A and B are shown apart, each in its own frame.
Chain A
Amino acid sequence: MPTLARHERLAGAALAALAFIIVALGFFAVIGEPPLATLLSMAEYAVGDRYSLSETLVKMTPILFCALAAIVPARLGLISVGAEGQFHVGALIGTGMMLWTQPFDGWLLLPLVLLGGAAGGALYGWLPGILRARLSVNETITTLLLNYVGVLMVSAAVYGPWKDPGNLGWPATIAFPDAAVLPQLFGTRVHAGLLLGLLLALCLHVLFRFSRWGQSLDILKGNVRVGRMMGLDYRRHVIIVMALGGALAGLAGIGETSVIQGRLQPGISVGYGLTGFLVAWLAGHNALLAIPVSFLIGGLIAAGDTLQLFNKIPASSATVLQGLMFATALAVPGLIALWRSRRG
């Protein structure tokens, strides 16, 4: 990828935003909607009132976690696209914890459920991590394939042994008891998971910047051989970042399942994993920047749902817009470099 100076990066971000708005207007024109009016309604549906804003924050929560799940491995130069699968396995193990401990119904339930979610995700990140560390198997391909298996594992559980007979055939587990659910905030669907996500983003940012671990990751990302000569264990770091990233996505999965869905069932994620990957990329793999970017994309998705409801535009338009946003962001640095070389 072309490298740019700092002021060019800033200009690039502004240019990318502008280019995206033009592309989005073009998209609305192509699907036969009034471009400017539709774009303005989207903005209104994302942040226009208290309810819209709260729904944006609800969507932002799993996206932020999944973005962090992609950012941690990326600090070592790994391209993990496995958040979707880790999200599902986290939801699966966390729900298993709930089912297992549910008769006891004490204060311990919530931490156990969250721990189960993190552990499930970590395990599902560890697997491609160890394959990468031991056999150099490309982590992008393994994580992409494992995603489908993770989603199907949840289906197998909720259509099979975990199906609650009281649901009259609907494939879902029993509902999470109140003691196993994170508290919700301001009387909306927004839950404490958002605060946890913000805190984790901040902690990760500080660790990447100032800790020895962060330095080791930077060195190994730059050059594995140099890192080795300094006594750093590349393989161990690969496994750590992959498992840690997995744990973050697993937390997103169990949070979404327990608070928003209330039970484990199919369709707990609407592509949060891939969206998180996009956010990580747009944020330049900076944990702090992931916060505003996931807010933005959360708003885009929430607005897409409302657009479907009120303007009869399918919610998949939000997916198209995400793809176009990603493509625009990838194109802009190259365009700037091209323009720079033309000027000589």
Chain B
Amino acid sequence: MDEATLILIAGWVAAILRSATPLLFVTLGETLSQRVGIINLGIEGEMLAGACFGFAAAATTGDPLLGLIAGGAAGVVLSMVHAGLCIGLGANQFGSGLAVWMIGLGITSFYGRAFVGGQVDASGSLGGSWLGDSPVLAQLLDNLSWTALAAVLLVLLAGFLLYRTRTGLAWRTVGEAPEAARAAGLSVPRIQVSGVLLGGFLAGVGGAVLSVDYTQTWAQEMTKGRGLVAVGLVIVARWNPYLVLPTVLVFGGAEAAVTRLQAGGFVLSSHVLASLPYIIALLVVVGAYAWGRRGSGMPEGLKGVFAVRGS
């Protein structure tokens, strides 16, 4: 391959990774929550709250890092409602998630109005003089912020924690066999709450990355179902943090490819284009059910709440 092709590919990879970073955080968060046996549809509201309050913090302080932290905190606060309802009080997980989503939707459009149309500076790019003079690396790294790197590292870290540490073993046991976990002296509710709150934190950070880093602006309901797409992608990634990375990247790649079709002469209505993420997510979820063994990789503890009741 000559250098021009490499530069082109580097540009593509950077574009895909850049647009997929928010979804990486959110999907990883939902994976961890579901690994301890709790489905969180409220992740949509948590992501939205992260985007709103993260943007607000970044716009007021001028510091993108503070924005990400504030976004994560907003996600944690909302996920506490979910944890309280379904772990503390035994409420239905789907219902509780939708309630959290609704609260997030309402609060962000209530408090977000003041920030609509504002602008912030993005966090720093990975590029710089330390790269030397490789145009391929420059093309790749100049277009990526450190949040993309952080997302990839977090995926690896989460995989390591879950499969290689005692804590991870405890988490997996709680998700797979809560009874056995209880018998082994683990505090099931405590571990489940940790999973949900960590998931909420990651969802909030993902939302903040979207508003502070990617679009650099805030708009009402700007996550547009990205959190719900993440819930679908968790199934495709078979509840495995390591697989979250390729799943989200393939999803982002497919989305980018179809978007590029338009540049190649296919004229598509912008509304058709906007519906592609959902259609692609739907297709990969259906594909995961059709070609995978049913519910494979699903934590046993989830099966009671999830699909595997009938047929």
Contact = CB atoms under 8 A, between A and B. Distances in A.
Interface string B63-93: 0000000000000000001001100111110
Interface string A252-284: 000000000000000000010010011001000
Contacts of B110: 31, 314, 316-317, 319-320
B109 interface: yes
B41 A155 contact: no
Contacts of A322: 102, 106
A38 interface: no
A206 interface: no
A330 B224 contact: no
B278 interface: yes
> Which label, helix, strand, loop or mixed, suits the secondary structure of the A interface?
helix
Nearest to B108: A316
Interface string A131-145: 111011110111011
B285 A156 contact: no
A326 B228 CA distance: 19
Chain A CB within 10 Å — which of B102, B113, B282 has the most? B102
Contacts of A2: 90
A235 B95 contact: no
A135 B106 contact: no
A177 interface: no
A156 B269 contact: yes
Interface string B25-66: 000000000000000010000000000000000000000000
- Among B89, B104, B281, B295, the one with the most A-chain Cβ atoms within 10 Å of its Cβ is B89
B114 to A, nearest CB: 11
Interface stretch (A7-15, A40-48, A61-69, A146-154): A146-154
Contacts of A136: 289, 294-295, 307-308, 310-311
Nearest to B288: A137
B184 interface: no
A144 B285 contact: no
Contact of A159 (B96, B102, B269): B269
B290 interface: yes
A278 B102 contact: yes
A77 B109 CA distance: 33
B interface, size bucket: 35 or more
Nearest to B307: A138
B104, B278, B279, B308: residue with the most chain A Cβ atoms closer than 10 Å: B278
Contacts of B281: 145
Interface residues of A, number: 57
A183 interface: no
B225 interface: yes
Interface in A95-142: 131-133, 135-138, 140-142
Contacts of A278: 98-99, 102
A323 interface: yes
B274 interface: yes
B269 to A, nearest CB: 5
B310 A234 contact: yes
A145 B229 contact: yes
Contacts of B308: 136
A326 to B, nearest CB: 4
A79 interface: yes
Given A142-B282, A278-B98, A327-B96, A148 B307 contact: no
Interface in A213-229: 220, 224
Interface string B258-296: 000000000001011011001101100110011000110
Contacts of A1: 90-92
A45 B232 CA distance: 41
> Which of the listed residues A1, A141, A147 has the most CB atoms from chain B within 10 Å of its own CB?
A141
A277 B96 CA distance: 12
Nearest to B280: A145
B306 interface: yes
A65 B104 CA distance: 25
A81 interface: yes
A328 to B, nearest CB: 9
Contact of A330 (B85, B232, B279, B290): B85
A179 interface: no
Contacts of B242: none
Contacts of A281: 95
Contacts of B224: 148
Given A146-B282, A334-B88, 5 more contacts: A31-B110, A77-B309, A138-B306, A141-B235, A281-B95
20 contacts: A79-B94, A132-B307, A135-B289, A136-B308, A136-B311, A144-B228, A144-B231, A145-B229, A146-B278, A156-B272, A234-B310, A317-B110, A319-B105, A320-B107, A323-B100, A323-B103, A327-B96, A330-B92, A333-B89, A334-B91
Interface of A: 1-2, 31, 77, 79, 81, 131-133, 135-138, 140-142, 144-149, 152-153, 155-156, 159-160, 220, 224, 234-235, 238, 271, 274, 277-278, 281, 314, 316-324, 326-327, 330-331, 333-335, 337-338
